[in-house]
Amino acid sequence: MEPDRDDTASPAMTRPTWMQVDLGAISRNASAIMAHAGARDMIAVLKADGYGHGAVPVARQLYRANGVRRFAVATVDEGVRLRAGLDGLDEAPEILLLGAQDVAMVPVMCAHGLSAVVDGPAWLDAAVALVPDGATLRVHLELDTGMGRVGVPTCEGLADLYGRVRANPRLELRGVATHFATADVAEADDLFVRQAHAFVACLERLGIPRDLWHCANSPACVWHAGAVPTETIRVGNALFGYGLSDLTDTPDGLRLEPVFELKTRVLSARLVRRGDPVSYGATWTADADRWVGTLPIGYADGYRRAFQGMPVLVNGEFQQVVGRISMDQTIVTLPGPVPVGTPVTLLGTDGAHRVTLADYAARAGAIGAEIVLGLSPRIYRVYRGGDVR
């Protein structure tokens, strides 16, 4: 899909509500993180359709603009779709499946060139038996240093897997990893320090080449790049400008740009009189004669009922969501009798003002990723500032 250069809408759009994604900003974030971490290689994590931004356009942008050749997703289906979307590139990138996978999917992994994380010796034994004749299964080993989700919990267990994989021609070792549980704080806590030490000590003891190591996720890259190996980094939400799971600001010297805006248009405008209620439950009543507009977005689009009262921007001025948000529609105050079709910025910048992802997260008691991932496919994704051929 080519980037749409008109931020008002795409010709294919049947409903004027869209998420405008700046692919150039994603590239700049990737470059900034690489430089900050001193990394040589990046595994770009694009699970959940690129954190809701579109895995294929983002991957193509990172491939062409940043030289990224390794991507990660969460499920086999995501991996198959991403592989199909990257067809035709000069060099087929690696696509890693993060987390534990159903071993019955090994033939599918082999057919589509997907790499799997080995969850333990039993998984590995079952996987080897399912590798088709003449095929190779690409694998990453994981040392569970304290996350408690995937991988083997001891260095001895990792040594056993490492030996098995190296000795089996049906397997190709692509990486050895761990995952930090508490990296998303500015001051390293005891668990983070223990995890980092255990990972480095074990891999050094086993003589595993450093070009196979990867442990630095987004918050580790941002806050602890000097404390962990960062030759290869795994970066997900930081690519999209909201950095850390708790929305903590980035440290001095690292600037991450917001990469998307959420926009819509007024589809109906009307004058409500003082004392008139709007929307379900009559939870808001006009305190004076006031113009309001109906927008084509609602909680079925991921614009949650909790966002009642949120600021929005109309003609560069702050207005407010009033009344309950319904499944498909939202009502906002207007500065006056604006024309139908007037743009409304729900998240992003208009003039001198901005509504941020952090504003929405605070309102919903959530983290930024939850808000973005909640934006449904009914919202069109419009791409600017990049090359996704």
Q: Which of 51, 263, 280, 383 is catalytic?
A: 280
280 is catalytic: yes
Of 47, 162, 242, 299, catalytic: 47
For the question of residue 47 being annotated catalytic, the response is yes
HEC assignment per residue over the chain:
CCCCCCCCCCCCCCCCEEEEEEHHHHHHHHHHHHHHHCCCEEEEECHHHHHCCCHHHHHHHHHHHHCCCEEEECCHHHHHHHHHHCCCCCCCCEEEECCCCCHHHHHHHHHCCEEEEECCHHHHHHHHHHCCCCCCEEEEEEECCCCCCCCECCHHHHHHHHHHHHHCCCEEEEEEECCCCCCCCCCCCHHHHHHHHHHHHHHHHHCCCHHHEECECHHHHHHCCCCCCCCEEEECHHHHCCCCCCCCCCCCCCCCCCCEEEEEECCEEEEECCCCEECHHHCEECCCCEEEEEECCCHHHCCCHHHCCCEEEECCEEEEEECCCCCCCEEEECCCCCCCCCEEEEEEEECCEEECHHHHHHHHCCCHHHHHHCCCCCCEEEEECCCCC
Query: Catalytic residue numbers?
Result: 47, 280
